[in-house]
Amino acid sequence: MEREHELESMLVADCGSTTTRVALIDLVGNEFHFVAGAETATTVEVPWSRLSMGVREAIREIERLTGRALLGHQEQLIVPERDNGSGVDGFVATLNAAVPLRLAVVGLIRSLSVESLLKATDSSYAVIQDVVARDDMTAERGTGSSMQAMLGNVLQNRHDAILLGGGIDGGAIAPVLEAVQDVATALVAGGEAGRTHVIFAGNRDARPQVAQVLGECSNLHVVDNVLPTLETEDLGGAQEAIDMLYREHKMDRVPGFGELKAWVSTPVLPTAEGFGVVLRYLARLSELDVLGVDVGGVTTQLAGVIDGRYGSTVNAELGVGYGLGSILEQVGMDSLLRWLPFEMDAEEAHSRILNKALRPMTIPETTEDLALEQAAAREAISLTLERARSRWLDGGSSLHPELLPPVDLIVGRGAVLSQAPQPAQTVLTLLDSVQPAGVCTLAVDKVSVLPQVGALASVNSLAAAQVVSRAGFLRLGTVIALAGTGREGSVALQMKVEYDDGQTIKVEVPYGALEVLPLMPGRKAVVELRPTSQFDVGLGRKGRRATTEVEGGVVGIIVDARGRPLVLPGDEGERRAKIREWSRELGLLRTMR
Amino acid sequence: MTYHPFVTRVVPNMLIRRERLLPFRGEVLVTTGQRVQPSDIIARTTVPSGIHLLNVAKALAVDSTDISRHLRVGFGDRVARGDVLAAGDGPVRLFGRTCRSPMSGVVAGISNGRVLIQSSSSTLELAAHYRGTVINVMSGLGAIIEIRGALVQGIWGSDKEGFGVMKLVVDDPAEAIDPKAIDVTCRGTVLAGAFSVSEEALYRAQQMEIQGILVGGLDTGLQDLVHSMPFPVVVTEGMGRFAISRPIFDLLQAHEGQEASIRGTIATRGGAVRPEIIIYVPRTDEGAIPEARPEFVLERGSQVRIVRGLHLGETGEVVDCPLHAKQLPTGASGRGVEVRLESGEEVFVAQANVELFG
C-alpha cells in the first residue's frame, strides 16, 4: 500500500565527471537528516556509456548500508516511499559529467561589451574558443584576424553557440549590425548542416534587424543587453540562455541521462548551480560572506556571496582528473613541484600526472601521488581565483589589493578537498591557494551533498535547510591569517586564547610560521590578537589589538603568519624545508615522506 | 557493493563495429553492404582555410540589400588577386568604385553585402582504415564498418592510424625495442610487444615506414616526437616504463604475422575513444562475440591490472573483496580488493585502482 505522497524521504545524487555520489535524506522525528551516502565511479564514458549504471550502483550500496529497499522491479526507483519503509518520496540530482558548451564571443569593444559577455559565460560550463572584439580589428579591411579565425571555425562547425553583443540600449545600432552581418555571412556559407545557436545580447534597438539577418541562418536567441548602459551590466538573460543551451545540448545528451530524468522530482541542475544555491542560502541564513571552492575531476568552481553580491566562476577544463593536462599546460611542472615537501623528478611527476589524467577515477595510494594531486588542486584554485578576480571578485581586500576580499566562511568540496586523508591537508591546500587574510572559518562538504541540497531546495526547502545545518559541512577550524611581511622569525602576532572552560593560553607567533592551537568542534574561545606593527588581521588598523570569538573545528585554530601574499622561498631546499615545517605543525609529517 | 571497474578489452575473436566519420559534412563514397579494405576512401570533404570576409557594400558605399546588381562574382567562383568582386555604378576603369579580391581563392559565401573568400582549402579523405563491411551509412558524414578480429585497447595514443602485418619485436614484454631490430624486414609492419620505445627506435621506424608501434609505456619526454611521427604509437599500460601486460602480450604473440589496423585516436570525454589495435584473425566467422557494453563486475577470481600506486602495471587475480573500507598508505580509507600478484604476493588495492581485462 502506498503512503500519501509527501516528500519526506529523498535520494539526492551528484554525477561528477569521475565520481557519482548518492545520499539518502529522511525525516527522523520532526527533522530531516542525512541518513547514508555512497559513491562510485561515474559511468558516462566508455566502456559503460550509461550514467544510470553508476547511480544504481551507489543506490544499491545505500540499500546495503541501511537495509532499505530502494530499487524495485527492473531496478526502477521505488517512489513514493511505501508503508514498509521501502523506497523514497523523491529523487533530485545534479550533474557535471557533461562536456562543456563550446562558445565564441563576439562584441564591439574589448573593455566594454566583450568583457560583459565574457562575464556572462563565467558561471556556466562553457569553453570559450574564440573571442572577437571589433575594436581589435585591422582598420583597412574592417575585419581582423580573430574574426577571420572565428569565421573559419564557424564554417567548420566548431562552436555550439555564438554569444554576440555590443552597443548600449538607445545607442547607434550600425556597429553591432556590422558584427551581426559578418557572423551571418559565415553562417549562411556554412549552410543548414552547421546551423549554430546565436545568443544576441546587445543593443535592444537592433533586435528587429538582428532577427532579420540571423533568423534564417541560425537558431537565434534574443536576450537582454549585457551592457544596457555604460554604467550597468545585466548578465542574467545571457547567463540563462547559455545555461539553457548547456542543459539541452550537453546534459540531455549524456548517455543514460534520460533514465535519470525520468526519476527526478525537479529538473536536474548543473552541479555548479546547485552549489551556488546552497552558498547563497548559507550567506543569507548566517549573514556571512561565504566563498565556496569546488575542485572536481575536470571543473574547478569558485562561487560565493561577498558584500551581498553573488558571483560564480566555473573553470570547465581545470581539475584533478581529466583536467590535469590543462593545469600542467597553464602553469608548468615547476609550479606543481614547488608545493611538494620532497624532491621529485619532473619526468616522474609528469608520468604520474598524465597517468592520473588518463585514468581519472583512480585514487592516490602513495604520499607522492597524493601530494601531487593536492599541488594540482592548489594551482586549479589559484587559476580560477585569478579569473574570478577579473570578473566578480574584484576590488581586492582592504588588507592588500592582491588579496581576496575578507570572507567569513570558506567551504571546500570535491574529493581532493573533502576527502583528503587528513583534514589538515585540506586546510593547507586552501590556505596556500585561496590565501585568505584576516579571521575566517574553513569547512568542507564532508558527505558531498551540498550541490544536491541546492537542487533539493526547490522541492523541499525545509529539508535542504536542515541538512545543510546538520550535515552539510564539517568545520575544519578558524584561520587567523596575517597580512603583511616581516623578518623571518621575528614576532608577528601575540595572542591570548581564553577557552570556554576558563583555561587561558598565551602564544607568540613568529613571521613565517603556521601554528595550530587546539579547539575542538563545537567549542568556542575568545582570542585577543596583538599583531606587530607590520601586520594586520583585518580587525582594525595594522598593529592594533583586537578581540574576537572563534569556533573550533577538527583541526582547531590555525594561525597563518606566513604573510600575504604568500611567497615561497626561491631556493628549492629551503622551500621544501619550509613546507615540511608547516606540514609538521599541522601534524601531517607522519603521512609524508 | 557491486562495482563495475574500468575495463580494457583484450578479446581474441570479436565482431567489432566502428564509426568512421568526417569532422564535418562532406560526401560519403560507400554504400551499405559494401566490403572495404583499410586503404579505401569512404568519404571526403573540403576543409576551408584562409577565410577572408570583405564588406563589399561598405566598400562601394551602397546598401547591402542592393548589392546583387553590383556583384561581378557568384558563389563558388574562382577569383584571382585583384579580380573585381563588385563594382559601383559607372565604367569601372574611369569612375566607378570597385571592390577587388585581396587574394586568390574561391567565393565561399555571399550575403549581407559581404563576400567570403576562401583563399585555400584542402581535401580531407577518410579511409576505411578497417577491413570489413559497411553496415550503415550516415549521409554526408561517414559509415559504420563491421570488422571481425582480435581487439586490444590501449590507454594512450598519438592520434594517427596505420595498417600492416603485426610483428613482435621482442621475445619478452619487459624488453625495450632495439633500434637495430627495426630493419628492412619490418618495412610497412606494425611493431608490437615492447616495454618502451626510444628516440632512436622512433627515427629508425620512420625510415622503415613502419605503420604503427604498440608498447607498454612511453617516456613523457618523447610525446612531442611521437606526435611528429607519421605513424601512430599506442601505449597499453601508461606513461613511463611498463611491460605490456601478460594477457595482451599473449594475444599479440598468438597472432603475430597477421594483418592489423592500429589507431592512436584518443578522446577522454564526451563519447570517449580509446586507442586500439585490431588484428584480422583468419576464419573468425564462427564464434565471434559481438562487441557490447561490458557488464563485468569486480569479484573473486577476476583477472585485474593495477593502474595506480606501488604496484602500478602489475597484474593478478582478485582473491578477496572485503565489504568494509581499509586504510590505504596515504591514511585515507577506501573500499578495495585483495589481489594475488603474479609474484604470489597478496596486496590490498583500492577498487578504483584496478582494471579488468575482458
pLDDT at B117 over 70: yes
Residue A229 contacts B where some CB pair is shorter than 8 Å: no
- B324 or A568, higher pLDDT: A568
Tally of structural domains, chain A: 3
CB contact under 8 A, B109 and A348: no
d(CA B310, CA B317): 17
**A214, A215, A218, A219 alpha-carbon torsion, rounded to 10°:** 130
Least confident of A85-99, A166-180, A394-408, A442-456: A394-408
Domain boundary among A202, A233, A263: A263
- Whether A327 and A247 map to the same domain: the answer is no
Interface mutation target, options A150, A329, A351, chain B, most CBs of B under 10 Å:
A351
Q: How confident is the model at residue A2 (pLDDT cuts 50, 70, 90)?
A: very low
> What Cα–Cα distance (Å) separates residue A159 from each residue in A221, A447, B341?
15, 37, 48
Residues A313, A327: Cα–Cα separation, whole Å? 16
User: Which pLDDT score is estimated for B95?
Assistant: 56
A463 and A578: one domain?
yes
**Is the distance from CB of A125 to CB of A316 less than 8 angstroms?**
yes
- What is the reported pLDDT for B96? 65
CA distances from A43 to A126, A299, A304, B293 (A): 22, 17, 30, 11
Helices A423-434 and A367-391: crossing angle, nearest 10°?
40
Q: For residue A60, what is the nearest residue in chain B, using CA coordinates?
A: B1
Interacting residues of B224 by C-beta distance below 8 A, sequence separation 6+:
none
CB nearest to A591's CB, from B108, B308, B331:
B331
Which stretches within A205-287 are classed as H helix?
Answer: 207-214, 236-246, 257-263, 271-286
C-alpha cell at B324: 568494509
Cβ-based contacts of A592 with chain B (< 8 Å): none
Q: Supply the CATH classification number for the domain B6-17+147-289.
A: 3.50.30.10
Using the predicted structure, report yes or no on whether residue A9 has a pLDDT greater than 80.
yes
> Which of chain B's residues have a Cβ under 8 Å away from the Cβ of A348?
240
Chain A hits for B199, CB-CB cut-off 8 Å, are: none
Pick the most confident of A61-65, A377-381, B60-64.
A377-381
CB contact under 8 A, A367 and B329: yes
Q: pLDDT tens digit string along A64-87?
A: 999 999 999 888 999 999 999 999
Q: Is the dihedral of CA A390, A393, A397, A398 positive or negative?
A: positive
Mutate: best of B8, B9, B16, B53, partner A, most A CBs <10 A: B53
Going from the C-alpha of A23 to that of each of A278, A471, B237, the distances in angstroms are 16, 11, 35
How far apart, in whole angstroms, are the C-alpha atoms of residue B309 and residue B304? 14
Question: Per the domain annotation, does A1 fall within a domain?
Answer: no
CB atoms under 10 Å from CB of A35, counted, come to 17
- Kindly tell me the sign of the dihedral angle through the C-alpha atoms of A449, A450, A452, A457: positive
The verdict on a CB contact (< 8 Å) between A141 and B353 is no
Q: How far apart are CA A194 and CA A192, in angstroms?
A: 6
What is the rounded distance in angstroms from the CA atom of residue B109 to the CA atom of residue A152?
A: 12
CA distance A462 to chain B (A): 32
- Note whether A554 and A473 are same-domain residues: yes
**Long-range CB contact pairs, A538-546, < 8 A, 24+:** A538/A397, A538/A398, A538/A399, A538/A406, A538/A437, A538/A438, A538/A439, A538/A483, A539/A438, A539/A439, A542/A484
Residue B130, min C-alpha distance to chain A (Å): 21
Task: Give tens-digit pLDDT for B78-101.
Answer: 999 999 999 887 655 555 688 999
Whose CA is closest to A104, among A88, A82, A126, A137? A126
Q: What is the residue-wise DSSP string for A21-78?
A: EEEEEEEETTEEEEEEEEEEE---STTT--HHHHHHHHHHHHHHHH----B-GGG-B-
Minimal CA separation from A569 to chain B, in Å: 27
The CATH number covering residue A88 comes to 3.30.420.40
**CB pair distance less than 8 Å for A365 and B220:** no
The closest CB to that of B221, out of A151, A191, A347, belongs to A347
Mean pLDDT for A383-401 is: 82
Q: What is the 3-state secondary structure (H, E, C) of A495-521?
A: EEEEECCCCEEEEEEECCCEEEECCCC
Residue A91: what pLDDT? Answer: 95
> For residues B121 and B255, is the Cβ–Cβ distance under 8 A?
no
Among partner residues A99, A142, A191, which is closest to B58 by beta-carbon distance? A142
Q: Residue A363: phi, psi to the nearest 5?
A: -120, 150
For residue B112, give the nearest of A141, A184, A191 by CB distance. A184
Residue B244: pLDDT over 50: yes
| Residue A79 sits in the same domain as residue A123 | no
| Residue of B110, B114, B308 with shortest CB distance to A365 | B308
- Please give the pLDDT value at position B294: 61
Nearest by CB: A156 against B24, B156, B355: B24
**A93 plus A106 within the same structural domain:** no
Rounded Cα–Cα distance for residues A361 and A272 (Å):
20
Neighboring chain B residues of A22 at a CB cutoff of 8 Å? none
**Domain that residue A20 falls in:** 9-97+256-263
| Chain B interface includes A359 (CB < 8 A) | yes
Contact A143 B55 (CB under 8 A): yes
> Would A220 be classed as within a structural domain?
yes
List the one residue out of B21, B74, B70 whose CA is nearest residue B43. Answer: B21
- Average pLDDT, rounded, for chain B: 90
Which residues in chain B are classed under CATH 2.30.30?
303-357
Which residues 6+ apart lie within 8 Å of B279 measured at CB?
A: B149, B150, B152, B166, B251, B252, B255, B258, B259, B260
> Which pLDDT tens digit goes with each residue over A315-348?
999 999 999 999 999 999 999 999 999 999 999 9
Does A350 touch chain B if contact means CB atoms closer than 8 Å? yes
Of B53, B55, B310, nearest to A151 by CB-CB distance is B53
- Give the cell for residue B219: 617516456
Q: CA-CA distances (angstroms) from residue B105 to B17, B77, B120?
A: 40, 8, 6
A205 close to A177: Cβ distance less than 8 angstroms: no
- Pairing status of strand B6-8 against strand B354-357: parallel
A66, part of any domain: yes
Question: Which of A263, A289, A316 lies at the terminal end of a domain, its last residue?
Answer: A263
CATH 3.50.30.10 occupies which residues in chain B? Answer: 6-17+147-289
Q: Minimal Cα distance from B266: which residue of A?
A: A358
The CA–CA distances, whole Å, from A413 to A168, A472, B46, B91, B332 equal 39, 11, 46, 72, 16
Q: For residue B49, what is its C-alpha cell?
A: 582555410
pLDDT at B194: 81
Q: Read off the CATH number of the domain in which A170 is found.
A: 3.40.50.2300
Contact (CB, 8 A) for A331 and A366: no
Q: Tell me, yes or no, if the pTM score tops 0.80.
A: yes
Place of cell 590555525: A558
Distance in Å, alpha carbon of B166 to nearest chain A alpha carbon: 26
pLDDT at B134: 97
Q: Is A471 left (phi over 0), alpha (psi -120 to 50) or beta?
A: alpha
Q: A416 and chain B: CB distance < 8 Å anywhere?
A: no
- Determine the straight-line distance between the first and last CA of chain B, rounded to whole angstroms: 20
Residues of B in contact with A17 (CB under 8 A): 269
When mean pLDDT is compared across A212-221, A533-542, B309-318, the lowest value belongs to A533-542
- Residues B189-235: pLDDT tens digits? 999 988 889 999 999 999 999 999 999 999 999 999 999 999 999 99
Q: Is the pLDDT of residue A21 over 90?
A: yes
Write the ipTM.
0.90
Which CATH number does the domain B303-357 belong to among 2.30.30, 3.20.20, 3.90.320, 2.60.40? 2.30.30
Provide the percentage of residues in chain B whose pLDDT is more than 70.
Answer: 94
pLDDT band at A194, cuts 50/70/90?
low
Residue A4 forms part of a structural domain: no
Is B239 in Cβ contact with A141 (below 8 Å)?
no
Bridge partners (DSSP) listed for residue A295:
A300
Cα A322 from Cα A98, distance rounded (Å): 13
What residue type is assigned to position B83 of the chain? D
A63–B contact, CB cutoff 8 A: no
Q: For residue A3, is it within any domain? A: no
Q: What share of chain A is helix, strand, coil (3-state, %, to 5)?
A: 35, 25, 40
Cβ-proximal residues to B88 (8 Å cutoff; 6+ apart), any chain: B60, B61, B62, B70, B96, B97, B98
What is the distance between the terminal CA atoms of chain A, rounded to a whole angstrom? 59
User: Is A502 inside any structural domain?
Assistant: yes
pLDDT at B73: 93
In single-letter form, the type of residue at position B303 comes to Q
Q: Are residue A107 and residue A93 in the same domain, yes or no? A: no
Distance (Å) of CA A232 to CA A168, A229, A391, B174, B219: 10, 5, 14, 66, 53
Q: Which of residues 178-217 of A touch B (CB under 8 A)?
A: 178, 181-182, 184-186, 188-189, 191, 193-194, 213, 217
Q: Does B308 contact A356 at a Cβ distance shorter than 8 Å?
A: yes
When mean pLDDT is compared across A60-69, A290-299, A475-484, B278-287, the lowest value belongs to B278-287
Domain B47-122 falls under CATH 2.40.50? yes
Burial class (CB in 10 A: 0-12, 13-18, 19+), B292: exposed
The Cα A231–Cα A293 span in angstroms is: 30
Give the residue carrying C-alpha cell 584473425.
B281
Mean model confidence pLDDT for chain A: 90
For residues A56 and A71, the answer to whether their CB atoms sit within 8 Å is yes
- Chain region(s) in chain B for CATH 2.40.50: 47-122
